[in-house]
Chain A
Amino acid sequence: MPTVLVNGVNREIKAPSDTPLLYVLRNDLELTGPQFGCGLAQCGACSVLLNGKEVRSCITPLSAVAGKEVTTLEGLPARWAKQKKLTGPEAAHVLHPVQQAWIDEQTPQCGFCQNGMMIKATELLESTPSPTIEQIKEAFTKSGPSPHLCRCGTYTAIIESVQRAADIMARSIL
């Protein structure tokens, strides 16, 4: 029975090893941040971080993640708290700066794709703390197996949110 480190907790999974991670997360672990969009790695709605790198959970079999660290949307606050060494109530109540920026900017319309957008933003900001608009566009269109798609067309808001998240993260270094 494979064990996967999900959002900081080791989880034993009963599902067959060829099961895509998406269904394991949503149905077995009740982590429903990642969404089913295409099952083809063409849209990004299902993204999670695997050892800090954005992957499409809809085509990633369970066997490929055994022993690795998976972070879902639900795990972003704890990921940030750990990175900032926050403890106690401070850690319990904080959102990841990316999530906070998404709220401040009122980014989602329907919001269905935004899981993947926030996962991609987190990956980007961990390697590039102050990205340019071109770097943001590059990350959301060329860095993964496909561009991250939004039917509601929230790309302007996403760019503004990534920049705001970068600001929040920069200020929190103090």
Chain B
Amino acid sequence: MTGTLETLAQGQQGTNVDVFGASLSRRGFVAAGGALLASFVLVRSSSAQEETPSMRGIPTSKLSSDSFIEIHADNTILIRTGKSDTGQSTVFTAYPQIVADELYVRFEAITTVISGDTDRTPDGGGTFDLLGHGMPNIRKAAAYVYQAMLDVASKQLNVPKDQLSVKDGIVSGGGKSISYGDLVKGQQLNLTIPVMGDIHSMFGLMVTGNPPLKPVSQYTVVGKSFPNSSVVSKVSAKETWVTDVRLPGMLHGRVIHPKTLGSKLVSAGTLDKSRFPNAQVVVKGNLVGIVAPTEWEAIKASQQVASDTKWSDWRGLPTDARLFDYLKEDADWKSVPAATSKESKGDVAAALASSPKKLKTIYQRPYLKHAPIGPTMAVGDVRPDGSIHVHGHTQNPQALRTEIALMLGVSPDKVTVHTYAGAGHYGRSNGGNAGAEDEAVILSQAVGKPVRVQWMRNDDLQWSTQSSCAFAEVELAIGPDGKLTGFQIDHYMPAMQDDRPIGAILAGLPTMPAPNEKGSLFGMRNQPSDPWLYGATPAVLERAHGGPQIGQASSPINVGLRDHSLRTPVQYQQNFPRELAITEAAYLAGADPLQFRIDHATEKRAIAVLESARDSSGWKTRSGFANGSGPTKQGRGVSLMMRGGAYWACVAQVTVDTNTGAIKVDKLTMVVDPGIVINPLQLKRQIEGGAVMGVSMTLREELRFNDSTITSSDWISYPIATMADLPEIKVILHHHPEVGSYRQGSEAASALAAPAIAGAFFDATGKIARRLPLKPAYVKTLLEA
């Protein structure tokens, strides 16, 4: 029922005031304290439930009644979000900044941020697209709360709402003023905000409606470099990391993973009780685990048992050496339909037929690893009362909750996921949202005690998911005027979103289905994901072809090379070939590759970042190769991307040692226009880090595997960039408040380097490297060809 402010002021419980579709009510008076709590009501169920493969057959659990935002009588403010912090600090910096601006309070007024835990946060959702295309839940929730506070203040001060203004949490108007804290003192006010969606899906619940938003021109908190509150605790050893979780009676666990990605257990090794009197072996299906009271005993016992454990053989992988031949010749790209981009236009075939200068070629990107510095770990606690507690560092706690529930055949209500700081995975590196959580739960259930499962380095590299490999076939043509007349690209990538936790698979317990032909959201399908930015090209055809994960179908345990998203997923795989092909097209046309891009781009913001990259990197426009003499050659390259509404350009300057084949990246200039820059310092740090990851992936990283298993098992066989690889990194942030919203300013930093560096190598040497990574041996082969 909808009441009036009169009834609210009179304290009638159960009457509601409409606040732009939210509902404000007083739940009662309290002797001490007082607060306004902004929680939610689900306005309608989402059709997304049917579309999300991970949700099949799982009942929706009771929703947490915890609030998004609380304003307390002492003028402190608390916010909650279902998203986790995976190290980039958005929930500790950008989120409080956004809320502070909408509420017209100082940043420091937001004293508490609760994130991730399924029993303490309201909205769920995976930790990606944290800024919600400019409209994260927390922004709208704050806008509702602001309106509600004005309503309460209007009544209390007896001043019309439109005559009130707020500064630093003090509401003023009609010569009177009162603080937010005093407005809520002695009462419990509830604001119920409308939401829709499915809390367990990858997107979580979404705040709906259209409360008035603060005009961007009035932002005072967004745009400033506030510090990340979690840095102090991490640097001073006060943080509780997931690795620090210790429960009473907890045992240390290790898992002995199969010999190959298709091996079944023949016989588990016998534990040498004389050496390991307190250890215990747990076998469930093909999952072999060891638990012991101390970590060292668990490690040593697992090594002893592993050496005595027998597995069946399997050889179902093409080997890394044959990977791209396999993808081209043997892989199945026919089972699901190709998807054509909406930017495709014109008659590419005709353009290719009629233009004299043409290029037809293939670009290849290997499998990569998430490779967190800390291998995945979790504590599982299956309690006698049937409740299940999982302590982990997870990208989507609510989705993990359903995975655990599905695995054990219980309602998600029984499962609570607690999240902690952990090593950055930059995506979903096992079972979609899980680390070792499923294995910890299985072992805990078996032994009746909490179990802490820590993967060792080799477990992490060999048994987590991969970032999908990909290749692209490109055909392009240049007209007599030196412009692109046609551009055709066909992207091929095995399925990426494998949400199955590996422990559940090995134990033979229920999981979501592996990526398959069905599933409208992902399944085996591939999607064009790299928005075309060269609108002046008359004919364009972009297609994306998907297929099954390699080795999965022939693996007796249905495993094979499982894939899941890693920073800039799918678009990394598609932007590298697109951008390197554009660079090749520029040289084919006798043009400068940066100017060539400007000449073909039609969006102002794309052109602006290119011009900025040119001017800030010292790029001198010229046609043709660098043509340096001597054994050490220098070159420069450029790349362009639009992701999530943010525009990026990158210039790489490299030195090639033609004697050794070593490429040194001397400088990367990274330009981003995300619209509104929320926190310049944090964004700069995120981009610097992303640029280094990009260098790492371009020069060092490649999953190694033989015909049966992954052979990358440590930091020697899966090298990543070190400080010795660090280029000078120049970050240019374009702050454009007139865009009206903030977009993803961080993630794509990892993807810009590869095409820019490969382009710079081409410029330096005249040799084109179309396959990543650009390791010295490969580079030498190209130079000697």
A53 lies within 8 A of chain B by Cβ: no
Among B235, B241, B294, B426, contact of A27 (Cβ-Cβ < 8 Å): B294
A140 touches B374 (CB 8 A): no
Q: Check A19 for interface membership: any CB of B closer than 8 A.
A: yes
Does B239 belong to the interface (CB within 8 Å)? Answer: yes
Contact A40 B726 (CB under 8 A): no
- Proximity string of chain B (438-456) to chain A, C-beta cutoff 8 Å, 1 when within and 0 when not: 0000000000000000101
Q: Which of B87, B246, B689 has the most CB of A within 10 A?
A: B689
Choose from A16, A36, A42, A111 the contact partner of B87 (Cβ within 8 Å).
A111
Q: Do B243 and A35 touch across chains, with their CB atoms under 8 A apart?
A: yes
Set of chain B residues within 8 Å of A16, measured between Cβ atoms: 296
- Pick the residue among A36, A43, A152 that contacts B693 (CB under 8 A): A152
In contact, A36 and B682 (Cβ under 8 angstroms)? no
Residues on A with beta carbons closer than 8 Å to the beta carbon of B373 = 35, 37, 43, 45, 110, 112-113, 149-151
B-facing residues in A91-115 (Cβ within 8 Å) = 95, 99, 102-103, 106-115
Complex Cα distance A102/B296, Å? Answer: 32
Query: Across the interface, do A106 and B688 meet the contact criterion of CB distance under 8 Å?
Result: no
The answer on a CB contact under 8 Å between B296 and A19 is yes
Please tell me which stretch of B41-49, B417-425, B755-763 contacts chain A, meaning at least 4 of its Cβ atoms lie within 8 angstroms of it.
B417-425
Instruction: Give the docked Cα–Cα distance between A153 and B236 (Å).
Output: 21
Residues of A within 8 A of B555 (CB): none
Q: Is B52 an interface residue (CB 8 A)?
A: no
Contact-residue size bin, chain B (C-beta under 8 Å from the other chain): 35 or more
A20 touches B690 (CB 8 A): no
A5 in the interface, Cβ–Cβ < 8 Å?
Answer: no
Q: Which of B722-737 contact A (CB under 8 A)?
A: 722-724, 726, 729
Residues of A within 8 A of B89 (CB): 109
Residues of A contacting B723 in the complex (Cβ-Cβ under 8 angstroms): 136-137, 140-141, 147-148, 155, 158-159
Q: With A and B bound together, what is the CA distance between A150 and B422 in angstroms?
A: 13
B76 within 8 A of A: no
A44, closest chain B residue (CB):
B373
In Å, the complex CA distance between A13 and B647 comes to: 56
A16 CB to closest chain B CB, in angstroms?
7
Given contacts A103-B227, A147-B723, contact A152 B714 (CB under 8 A): no
* Chain B positions 103 through 122: 1 when the CB is less than 8 Å from some CB of chain A, otherwise 0: 00000000000000000000
- Smallest distance from the beta carbon of A7 to chain B beta carbons, Å? 11
CB distance from A70 to the nearest CB of B (A): 14
B232 CB–A CB distance under 8 Å: yes
Which A residues lie within 8 Å of B375 (CB)? 36-38
B780 close to chain A: CB less than 8 A = no
Q: A64 CB to closest chain B CB, in angstroms? A: 15
Query: Which A residues are CB-close (under 8 A) to B294?
Result: 15, 19, 23, 27
* Bound-state Cα–Cα, A157 to B682, Å: 11
Q: Mark B71-93, 1 if CB is under 8 A from A, else 0.
A: 00000000000000011110000
Which of B246, B424, B715, B726 meets A110, CB within 8 Å?
Answer: B424
* Size class of the contact patch on chain A: 35 or more
Tell yes or no: B353 within 8 A of A by CB. no
Q: Is the CB of B715 within 8 A of A40?
A: yes
Map CB proximity to A onto B219-236 as digits: 1 under 8 Å, 0 otherwise: 000000001101110111
Taking a contact as CB atoms closer than 8 A, the residue among B227, B228, B230, B693 that contacts A151 in the complex is: B693
Contact present for A109 and B243 (CB under 8 Å) = no
Q: Do A106 and B715 have beta carbons less than 8 Å apart?
A: no
* C-alpha gap A41/B653 in the complex (Å): 33
User: Could you say which residues of chain B place their CB within 8 Å of the CB of A102?
Assistant: 231, 235
Count of chain A to chain B residue pairs whose CB atoms are closer than 8 Å in the complex: 181
CB-CB nearest in chain B for A158: B723
* A149–B295 touching, CB < 8 Å: no
Contact A147 B696 (CB under 8 A): no
Does B284 sit within 8 A of A, measured CB to CB? Answer: no
Contacts of A103 in B (CB 8 A): 227, 231-232, 235
A103-B231, A152-B424 known; A109 vs B686 contact (CB < 8 Å): yes
**B582 interface hit (Cβ, 8 Å):** no
Interface assignment of B1: CB less than 8 Å from any CB of chain A: no
Q: Is the CB of A110 within 8 A of B423?
A: yes
CA A141 to CA B721, docked complex, whole Å: 10
Residues on A with C-beta less than 8 A from B689 are 109, 150, 152-154, 157
Q: Which residue of A lies closest to B372 (CB)?
A: A151
Q: Determine the chain B residues whose CB is within 8 A of the CB of A36 once the complex forms.
A: 243, 374-375, 454
Q: Does A124 contact B (CB under 8 A)?
A: no
Let me know if A106 and B87 touch, CB within 8 A. Answer: no
Q: Is residue B720 within 8 Å, beta carbon to beta carbon, of the partner chain?
A: yes
A39 interface residue, CB < 8 Å from B?
A: yes
Which residue of chain B has its CB nearest to the CB of A72?
B237
Residue of B nearest to A110 (CB): B87
- CA A42 to CA B720, docked complex, whole Å: 11
Smallest CB gap from A152: residue in B: B689
* A38 in contact with B87 given A103-B227, A152-B693 (CB within 8 Å): no
Are B424's CB and A109's CB within 8 A?
yes
A154's nearest neighbour on chain B, judged by CB, is B689
Chain B CB count within 10 A is highest, among A19, A73, A155, for: A155
8 A Cβ contacts from A1-50 to B: 15-16, 18-20, 23, 26-27, 31-33, 35-40, 42-43, 45
Cβ contact of B244, chosen from A32, A137, A158, cutoff 8 A: A32
Contacts of B424 in A (CB 8 A): 109-110, 112, 151-152
A38-B714, A156-B726, A159-B723 are known contacts. Are A33 and B422 too (CB-CB below 8 A)? no
A110 to chain B: which residues have CB within 8 Å? Answer: 86-87, 372-373, 421-424
B685, A43: Cβ atoms closer than 8 Å: no
Closest to B721 in A: A153
Q: How far is the CB of B403 from chain A (nearest CB, A)?
A: 23
Query: How far does the alpha carbon of A111 sit from the alpha carbon of B242 in the complex, in Å?
Result: 13
B691 beta carbon closer than 8 Å to chain A: yes
Q: Does B371 touch A at the CB level, under 8 Å?
A: yes
Q: CB of B782 within 8 A of chain A? A: no
A169 interface residue (CB < 8 Å to B): no
Inter-chain contacts of B724 with A (CB < 8 A): 137, 141-142, 147
A37 touches B231 (CB 8 A): no
Chain A residues contacting B690 (CB-CB under 8 Å) are 153
How far apart are the CA atoms of A23 and B293 in the complex, in Å?
Answer: 12
How distant is the Cα of A77 from the Cα of B88 in the complex, in angstroms?
26
In chain B, what residue has the closest Cβ to A18? B296
In the bound complex, do residue B87 and residue A109 qualify as a contact, i.e. CB atoms below 8 Å apart?
yes
**Quick check: is B31 within 8 A (CB to CB) of the other chain?**
no
Contact between A111 and B86, CB atoms less than 8 A apart: no
A45 x B374 contact (CB < 8 A): yes
Residue of A nearest to B461 (CB): A38
B126, chain A: closest CB distance, angstroms? 17
- CB of A55 within 8 A of chain B? no
A contact residues around B32 at 8 Å (CB): none
Given contacts A106-B682, A111-B231, A154-B688, 12 further A-B contacts (CB under 8 A): A19-B294, A26-B295, A31-B237, A33-B237, A35-B373, A38-B715, A103-B235, A109-B689, A112-B424, A151-B371, A156-B692, A157-B688
- Provide 15 A-B residue pairs closer than 8 Å at the C-beta atoms, listed in order of the A residue: A23-B295, A32-B243, A35-B243, A36-B454, A38-B375, A39-B457, A102-B231, A107-B235, A109-B424, A112-B373, A137-B723, A141-B722, A152-B87, A153-B696, A153-B721
Q: Chain B: residues with CB nearer than 8 A to chain A?
A: 86-89, 227-228, 230-232, 234-237, 239, 241, 243-244, 246, 294-296, 371-375, 421-424, 426, 454, 456-457, 681-682, 685-686, 688-693, 695-696, 714-716, 720-724, 726, 729
3 smallest beta-carbon distances between A and B, as pairs: A153-B692, A110-B87, A110-B424
